[in-house]
Amino acid sequence: MKVLLASSRGFCFGVEDAIEMAEMVVENRGQGEVVALGPLIHNKQVVSKLEEAGLNQSGDLETIDPSKTMLIRSHGASPETFKRAKERGLDIVDATCVLVKRAQNVVMQLHERGYHVVMIGDPNHPEVKGVIGYAPNVTVIDEGTDLEVALPYRERLGIVAQTTHSPAHVANMIQKILLRPYREVKIVNTLCLEVTRRQEAAISLAKDVDVMFVLGGLHSANTREMARMCSEAGCLTHHIETWEQFEPSMAADKVVAGVTAGASTPEWVISEFVKHLEAI
Ligand code: SF4
């Protein structure tokens, strides 16, 4: 099978930095001495490799032994989480991506300047849960939100978005907000260019191939978004994590396949997949 790769794909700098930091801290403090608060990134394969290397993981701050070092993942955490960790005496290492940190600071500044903060994002995503902690009463909206109910009238609105959303989706949501009678609306672009580049490359490739494979964690927001966009571009698209999930029916009767991967998918997962697919 002929396989074409997206020009921009796989690990972003934020994920690379978080993994490097995790490896360094485990090396310094010792195996089993560092606990990540939730999965470091949304990729099972990478997370299990880190666990093998001695990084533990817990979803509940209250259960982490205070003698351990707690690692904040690339998605960041709320100020409340940092405060509670300090109260419990935990040593904290912060691997929050700089772009997520920027979104957190923007939310804080908008609130301080008198804006009611609105975040376009998935309310269940860890990044969003963390970012909205930087100002009181942030309203989170996404596709399907009834703006009449969710967005009470305020004179001044300050809008940010989840870093992994697509510009088209955010523009669509902003357009809906602007149809309402706000006196002032300030929009700060908090989208991640690494994600936008991967999305553009994926859509462009999807137009030239018979089938697209988008590799990455099934819970990874940016991978899911990319798969959705390829599908919307009219290309048969499969979102899978690794070659093990491949089924021959996925590529049956197809001649050219496109491959891309989310920002938390390592290069070895991509190259292994491509090697097998080319052999068909
Ligand atoms: S996708 Fe962007 S915001 Fe998310 S970790 Fe990577 S660089 Fe940071």
So what's the pLDDT on residue 91?
A: 96
> Chain-wide mean pLDDT for the chain?
95
Pocket (CB within 6 angstroms of ligand 1): 12-15, 74, 97, 99-100, 163-164, 192, 194-195, 222, 263
Domains of the chain: 2-10+193-278 (3.40.1010.20), 13-97 (3.40.50.11270), 99-187 (3.40.1010.20)
Longest dimension (CA), the chain: 60
Question: How far is it, in rounded angstroms, from Cα 266 to Cα 11?
Answer: 6
**pLDDT tier at 155 (50, 70, 90 boundaries)?**
confident
164 in Cβ contact with 192 (< 8 Å) = yes
pLDDT of 109 above 80: yes
What is the tens place of the pLDDT at every residue in 184-221? Answer: 999 999 999 999 999 999 999 999 999 999 999 998 88
- Residues serving a catalytic function are 127
Q: In terms of Cα–Cα distance, which of 127, 143, 146 is closest to 190?
A: 127
Average pLDDT over residues 243-256: 96
224, HSE (Cβ side, Cα atoms, 13 Å): 11
Tell me the CA–centroid distance for residue 150 and ligand 1, in Å.
28
Q: How far is the CA of 189 from the centre of ligand 1 (A)?
A: 14
Of 176-180, 233-237, 269-273, the one with minimum mean pLDDT is 176-180
Query: Can you tell me which atom of ligand 1 is nearest the CA of 163?
Result: 3
pLDDT at 260 > cutoff 80: yes
pLDDT of residue 186: 97
For residue 172, pLDDT over 80 is answered with: yes
Q: Which atom of ligand 1 is nearest to the CA of 12?
A: 6
pLDDT band per the 50, 70, 90 thresholds, residue 54: very high
| Residue 8 confidence class, pLDDT cut points 50, 70, 90 | very high
Residue 111 Cα, ligand 1 centroid: separation in angstroms? Answer: 24
What atom in ligand 1 is closest to the CA of residue 195? 1
Q: What is the pLDDT of residue 153?
A: 76
Report the pLDDT value the prediction gives residue 265, as an integer from 0 to 100: 95
42: confidence class by pLDDT, cuts 50, 70, 90: confident
Nearest ligand 1 atom, CA 98: 8
pLDDT of residue 174: 96
The pTM of this model reads 0.92
The per-residue pLDDT for 85 is 96
Residue nearest to atom 2 of ligand 1 (CA): 192
The per-residue pLDDT for range 86-97, each reduced to its tens digit, is 999 999 999 999
- Asked if residues 165 and 191 have their Cβ atoms less than 8 Å apart, the reply is yes
Q: How confident is the model at residue 249 (pLDDT cuts 50, 70, 90)?
A: very high
The rounded distance, in Å, linking the Cα atoms of 25 and 56 is 12
Pocket test for ligand 1, best of 98, 164, 197 (most atoms within 8 A of CB): 164
Residue nearest to atom 8 of ligand 1 (CA): 14
Residue 58's pLDDT is 95
Pocket test for ligand 1, best of 98, 122, 195 (most atoms within 8 A of CB): 195
Q: How many angstroms is it from 223 CA to the middle of ligand 1?
A: 12
Rounded to the nearest whole angstrom, what is the distance from the C-alpha of residue 15 to the centroid of ligand 1? Answer: 7
Q: What is the DSSP string of the chain?
A: -EEEE-SS-S--HHHHHHHHHHHHHHHHH-TTSEEEES-SSS-HHHHHHHHHTTEEEES-GGGS-TTSEEEE-TT---HHHHHHHHHTT-EEEE---HHHHHHHHHHHHHHHTTPEEEEES-TTSHHHHHHGGGSTTPEEE-TT--HHHHS---SEEEEEE-TTS-HHHHHHHHHHHHTS--SEEEE-----HHHHHHHHHHHHHHTTSSEEEEES-TT-HHHHHHHHHHHHTT-EEEEESSGGG--GGGGTT-SEEEEEE-TT--HHHHHHHHHHHHT-
pLDDT at residue 25 greater than cutoff 90:
yes
Measured distance CA(102)–CA(85) in Å, rounded: 22
The pLDDT value recorded for residue 154 is 75
Give the C-alpha separation, 265 to 79, whole Å.
Answer: 28
pLDDT at 151 exceeding the cut of 90? no
